[in-house]
Amino acid sequence: MVPTQTESQPAAAASLEEADRRDLDWWIDKLVEGLVFIGGISAIVFITAIFVFITKEGVGFLGSRFDFSEFFFSQAWRPTSESKPTYGALALIAGTASVTGFAVLMAVPFSLGAAIYIAEFAPPKQREILKVLVELLAAIPSVVWGFIGLSMMNPLIIELFDVPIGLTVLNAGVILGLMAAPIMTTIAEDALKAVPDSYREGAEALGATRWQTIFRVTLPAARNGLVAAVLLGVGRGFGETMAVLMASGHSINVPDSVFDSVRALTATIAAELGETAVGSEHYQALFTLGILLFVVTFFINLTADLVVRGIRKS
């Protein structure tokens, strides 16, 4: 942060002359300070507003219809049933967890490997190019990823593994892994970059090879940043909507293998919200799923932030 302007001198001068120096420029300055302050707190206002508004829409369900054991332990998500609608989110939670878990398992080694290469090995020109490629990977919109899952990965998986359907945990997991990889790579690389060069020089002066330096010195020193990178990657995968909706098969199912179709929490909201009447039980139930998503991502981000803060302190 920028250190504050010294205020003692002007103040002393003012008392000396006993003059009111609050001219137009002074008032404009105060006005602008107020305006940018409003801009500054807008992030807090919006994040609070998001919570308030989704809770406002979902609270009816939480108050009257919500049943803890049904919601978390039943697989029966039948919100449109005529006789008795049920809202068991277990299969949706399992769907999200399996796809995200698979994606993170796929993406973590590659992302960390790429981060290590870019931060520790690559010569400057190469680093620039690789970073641009990673950035472009992050730029591909999620609906395009979903389309790729649908039109390219689907036939490929059917062909390769000889399975009847290719819209599965595997498909969505690979896609999601590719989507989560850039954020993990970028943040992990930043964490490695933040390790002071004197650490590396010290290790190499003691005769350690490059790899020994990375494995024994740099990686442990960057540990917190790497954990934060993985956490933010998990958050990214967890909240992804369109790609999962299109690539996971969207069938309510607790998966036994990566070749099962599943349905994610996010995808359920995206697929069903358009068909519900505002204020209906189903509509409120979807907002309740939204509250769940919000709370979980909030804690993932909070944890990542605390972990990063941990390195700054030490």
Partner 1 sequence: MFEATARDHRNQRVQTSIRLGFLSMTLLLAAPVLIVLGALVYKGMPIISLDFLLGDPTHGMTQGGIFPALVGTVCIVVVALIASVPAGVAAAVYLSEYAPENWLTRAINLGILNLAGVPSIVHALFGVGAFVLFFGFGTSILAASLTLAVMTLPVVIVATKESLQAVPMAFREACWNMGATRWQTIRTVVLPNAVSGILTGVILEVSRTAGETAPIMFTGAAFFLPFLPQSVYDQTMAMSLHLFVISTQVPDVPEALPYGVALVLIGIVLVMNSISIAFRIWLRNRKKW
- Residue 75: CB minimum distance to partner 1, A: 21
Rounded to whole angstroms, how far apart are CA atoms 130 and 126? 6
- Residue 182: CB minimum distance to partner 1, A: 8
- Residue 11: CB minimum distance to partner 1, A: 14
By beta-carbon proximity to partner 1, the closer residue of 140 and 163 is 140
- Residue 256: CB minimum distance to partner 1, A: 26
Rounded to whole angstroms, how far apart are CA atoms 79 and 313? 49
By beta-carbon proximity to partner 1, the closer residue of 169 and 245 is 245
By beta-carbon proximity to partner 1, the closer residue of 91 and 106 is 106
- Residue 85: CB minimum distance to partner 1, A: 20
- Residue 36: CB minimum distance to partner 1, A: 4
Distances (CA, A) of 153 to 178, 277, 291: 13, 35, 32
Q: What are phi and psi of 86, to 5 degrees?
A: -125, 150
Which tokens belong to 308?
Answer: 């990063």
By beta-carbon proximity to partner 1, the closer residue of 31 and 257 is 31
Rounded to whole angstroms, how far apart are CA atoms 284 and 182? 34
- Residue 84: CB minimum distance to partner 1, A: 26
Which tokens belong to 276?
Answer: 């519900």
By beta-carbon proximity to partner 1, the closer residue of 151 and 257 is 151
Rounded to whole angstroms, how far apart are CA atoms 28 and 31? 5
By beta-carbon proximity to partner 1, the closer residue of 242 and 258 is 242
By beta-carbon proximity to partner 1, the closer residue of 80 and 136 is 136
